[in-house]
Structure 1
Amino acid sequence: MLPWIIVVLLAVTIIVGAAFVLWNSFMKESTPSNPREAARAEAGQVETEYISAEKRAEMTVAIDDIITNLSDPTYFVNASFTFELDNTKAKHEFELLTYKMKDVINTTLTDMTPEEARGSAGIDAISSTLLNRTNELLHEGKVRHVYITKFIVTEQ
C-alpha cells in the first residue's frame, strides 16, 4: 500500500509543478518587457471612477504663497500648492491641520538644493514627497494628488 501512496503523491507533485511552470511561462509572454508598455497594460486594466469637476473642487485645499529658503540660503522659493483629497472628511481634517501641512511643505523645500528643485523632475520629486508626507498625517482619508500651481526659484 505504501508504494501506491508514494506514486500518487509523486504524480500530484509533478502535475502541480508542470502547471506552475506553464502558468509562469504564459504570464511572462503576456506582459511586455518594456516597463513603459507594462505600465500602460496595467493601467488599462484598472477601472477608474469619474469624478465631476464640482465634486473634485469640494475635495481640494489650496495653500498659497509659501516663501522659504532652499538648502542653499542664497536661493528661495515662492510656491503655491493645491491638494486633492479622496473625500470631504479628509478635506476637513486637512484644513484643521493646515499648520502641520505648511510645516511639511517648508521642511521639504528647505531640504532641497536649487538643482534638485529645478525642472519637471524637481516638481515631480516635490509632489511625491509632499504626497507621502501629508498622507502620514491624515487619518480620515488621503491625499490623491498634489498640484503645484506656482513655483518660482529665485536667487537673492
Structure 2
Amino acid sequence: MKSKNRLLTIMLIILVSITLVGVIAVLIIFQLNKGEEETGPTIDEIVESSVDIPEITTNLAANKFIRISLKVQTDNPKAAEELMKRDFQVKNIVITELSEMTPEDLEGKQGKANFQSSLKTKINELMDEGEVQQVYITSYIIQ
C-alpha cells in the first residue's frame, strides 16, 4: 500500500512537471511570434515611402519668422508619389498652419507634436492613395 501511494505521488509530480514545461514552451513561442509580428517597416521602406518638404520660411502670428523643413512618411510608395505631386498643397497647409501659431505654440515636445499631428490630419484629408503615417521636423529655426 505504501509503495502504491509513493508511486502515485511520483507519477503526479512527473505529470505536473511535464504540463508546466509544456505551458512555459507555449508561452515562449507566443512571445517570440508576437515580437516578429510587431516589427514595423525597415528604414529602406520608410525612406522609399517618404517625401522631403524643402525649407519653408514664413511668418508666425507674433511677428516672428520660422524656417522649417519636414519629412513626411506615408504608408506606401504610391502615396509618396501622390504627395510629391501635391507638394504645393502641402506647402500651403504648412504655411497656413504656421501663420496661426506663435513661437510659444511650438515650444517643447508637446508643441511640436501638436503641430506634427495637425499637419498629418490636414495632409491626410488631401490624400487619395494611402495615408500619412508620420510628419518629422528635420530642421527648425525661429527668428
The answer for the alignment partner of 1:102 in structure 2 is 91
Identity %: 34
Deviation at 1:118, TM superposition (A): 1.6
The answer for the alignment partner of 1:64 in structure 2 is 54
Structure 2: stretches of 5+ with no match in the other structure: 1-33
Deviation at 1:49, TM superposition (A): 4.2
TM-score, normalization by structure 1: 0.66
Q: Distance in 1 between matches of 2:138 and 2:127?
A: 22
Q: Distance in 2 between matches of 1:51 and 1:116?
A: 32
Residue 121 of structure 1: SS of its match in structure 2?
Answer: helix
Query: Does 1:129 find its partner at 2:108?
Result: no
What amino acid does structure 2 have at the position aligned with 1:65? E
Deviation at 1:86, TM superposition (A): 0.2
What amino acid does structure 2 have at the position aligned with 1:94? L
Q: Distance in 2 between matches of 1:76 and 1:59?
A: 30
Residue 150 of structure 1: SS of its match in structure 2?
Answer: strand
What amino acid does structure 2 have at the position aligned with 1:53? I
Structure 1: stretches of 5+ with no match in the other structure: 1-43
Query: Does 1:83 find its partner at 2:72?
Result: yes
State how 1:4-153 maps to structure 2 within 5 Å. Answer: 48-73=38-63, 75-153=64-142
Residue 91 of structure 1: SS of its match in structure 2?
Answer: helix
Q: Distance in 2 between matches of 1:136 and 1:50?
A: 24
CA deviation profile, 1:5-57 (whole Å, cap 9, x unmatched) = xxxxxxxxxxxxxxxxxxxxxxxxxxxxxxxxxxxxxxx9xx53431111111
> Which stretch shifts more, 110-119 or 131-140?
110-119
In angstroms, what is the RMSD of aligned CA positions?
A: 1.6
TM-score, normalization by structure 2: 0.72
Residue 136 of structure 1: SS of its match in structure 2?
Answer: helix
> Stretches of 4+ moved more than 2 A in 1?
47-50
> Aligned pair count?
109
